[in-house]
Amino acid sequence: MRANLSLPWWAWAAMGAGLVVFAVMIGLTVKRNRGVHRSLFASPYTLWMIVFTVIPVILIGYYAFTNASGAFTLDNFKNFWDSNYESNKVILDVMGEEGAAYITRGTVNVDTLVYSLWMAFKCTVICLLLGYPAALFMADRNMKLGATLVVLFIIPMWMNFLLRTIAWMSLLEDSGLINTFLKWLGFEGVQLMYNSEAVLLGMVYNFLPFMVFPIYTVLSKMDFRLTEAAADLGCNSLQTLVKVTLPLSLPGVISGITMVFMPSVTTFFIPRVLGGGNTMMFGDLIESKFLTEGNWNVGSALSLIMMLLILLSLSILRKVDPNGEGGGIA
């Protein structure tokens, strides 16, 4: 792993200037208010954001549009579209026109992105189908079990995400709990791990609470008299659900979708543990660009593409829930 921090002098200067501007702004605030103003208490957070979010994003932008020697280039994005771009260029350089017969477009990057989006989509749909009824059940004020279920959903979240995923291995492996049990019953063992179903299972398991809780919050805040009013006006329980409860819980659903879809697209640990390298998702690809190949430029370009896709989907969802009533991060 080679940290490629050989930034040009102007990049360092810009970052330094940013910090100086920040310090000056604090000074001015103190002077204008003749003392400590409440907004000053936000400065540690602002500094944190600048150092760990704003600067890294600027750096990603910088790396994405430069090559290893720091010159401006769009090659990194061409590399996303055609992973053979570099080698094809060499072939064409050496062989000229004749080389065209030997070049092929490497589709692994695009395919991985499409696969990741598809997996994230499936994960989101399954989480919604499982999570909505669960949230409905938990929020029902007549169900005494509801509160218990809330706790049951929260307890696993106290455990580390990596541990929880690794725990699934001991269940699914060839010598794991499930297979041992099947063999004890006299059945053949089943290959449960190292396929996309196992990855999907791990994703759903890890991200389900992020679907349940926003919906649960909205539902439990909802005035129960509204469902009574629906029943009063002639709705049976299914009609009440479709005509009143569902539309009113939409902000929670949107928030849940965002909070499940985003980490699903970018997830990289679950596919490696449960997919065992047989499945590659976009997060894994980015990780390997940075950590295995040490190619920060292409890695940054891929990250930038992913960020744009997420921003795009967020802005679409925001149109449906303009007030952000779901209380999520949309």
Binding site residues, other proteins, CB under 8 A: 223, 225-226, 228-236, 239, 243-244, 247-248
Nearest-5° angle of CA 292, CA 166, CA 123?
Answer: 85
User: Burial, 7: exposed, middle or buried (Cβ in 10 Å; 0-12, 13-18, 19+)?
Assistant: middle
**105 vs 243, which CB is nearer to other proteins?**
243
Q: How far is the CB of 216 from other proteins (least distance, A)?
A: 19
Q: How far is the CB of 133 from other proteins (least distance, A)?
A: 21
Residue 276 Cα distances to 30, 271, 285, 311, 315, angstroms: 55, 7, 14, 30, 34
Q: How far is the CB of 285 from other proteins (least distance, A)?
A: 42
DSSP tag of 99: G
Which of 281, 278, 277, 297 is closest to 289 using CA atoms? Answer: 297
- Helix H, strand E, coil C: the string for 115-148 is HHHHHHHHHHHHHHHHHHHHHHHHHCCCCCHHHH
**95 vs 233, which CB is nearer to other proteins?**
233
Q: How far is the CB of 246 from other proteins (least distance, A)?
A: 10
The tokens of 171 are what?
A: 């269940």
Q: How far is the CB of 259 from other proteins (least distance, A)?
A: 22
CA atoms within 13 A on the CB side of 4: 20
Range list of H helices, 155-295: 161-172, 177-184, 196-221, 224-232, 237-240, 246-266, 269-275, 282-287
Asked if residues 131 and 217 have their Cβ atoms less than 8 Å apart, the reply is no
CA distance 106 to 84: 5
Q: How far is the CB of 221 from other proteins (least distance, A)?
A: 12
Provide DSSP, 184-216.
HTTPPP---SSSHHHHHHHHHHHHHHHHHHHHH
Q: Tell me the backbone φ, ψ of residue 279, rounded to 5 degrees.
A: -120, 135
**109 vs 245, which CB is nearer to other proteins?**
245
**104 vs 148, which CB is nearer to other proteins?**
148
**2 vs 225, which CB is nearer to other proteins?**
225
CA distance 252 to 324: 9
**132 vs 205, which CB is nearer to other proteins?**
132
**60 vs 254, which CB is nearer to other proteins?**
254
**252 vs 275, which CB is nearer to other proteins?**
252
Q: How far is the CB of 278 from other proteins (least distance, A)?
A: 45
Give every CB contact of residue 177 below 8 A, 6+ residues apart in sequence: 170, 171
Q: How far is the CB of 181 from other proteins (least distance, A)?
A: 43
